[in-house]
């Protein structure tokens, strides 16, 4: 599944909850030619809980530790707000359809 050039993610075998992903380094940067491999693990209650994402390829970034773990604290909050705002939007649309 990929909508962006250089980014891809696919289920690992038959397990729909475990995915492997790749991100290619941006062209005309020092990262060009580098391919970062990631593992994504989706919980059973996704999308209400975020997936666990881990860099399998070494990556230097302030939000990635030496083991490839990504700090998801802020993403957890944004994910919940996104789900909540989507529900509110659906209720608003339903309200307009029913009462207008």
Q: Tell me the H-state helices in the chain.
A: 73-99
Separation of alpha carbons 19 and 85, rounded Å = 27
Sign of torsion over alpha carbons 87, 93, 98, 100: positive
Q: How far apart are CA 41 and CA 52, in angstroms?
A: 5
Residue 59: active-site member? no
Which of 59, 71, 92, 93 is catalytic? The answer is: 71
Catalytic sites, residue numbers: 71
């Amino acid at each position: 599944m990929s909508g962006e050039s250089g980014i891809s993610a696919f289920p690992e075998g038959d397990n729909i909850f475990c995915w492997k992903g790749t991100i290619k380094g941006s062209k005309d940067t020092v990262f060009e030619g580098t391919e970062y491999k990631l593992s994504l693990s989706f919980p059973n209650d996704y999308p209400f809980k975020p997936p666990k994402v881990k860099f399998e390829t070494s990556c230097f970034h302030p939000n990635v530790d030496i083991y490839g773990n990504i700090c998801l604290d802020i993403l957890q909050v944004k994910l919940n707000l996104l789900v909540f705002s989507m529900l509110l939007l659906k209720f608003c649309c339903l309200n307009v359809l029913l009462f207008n």
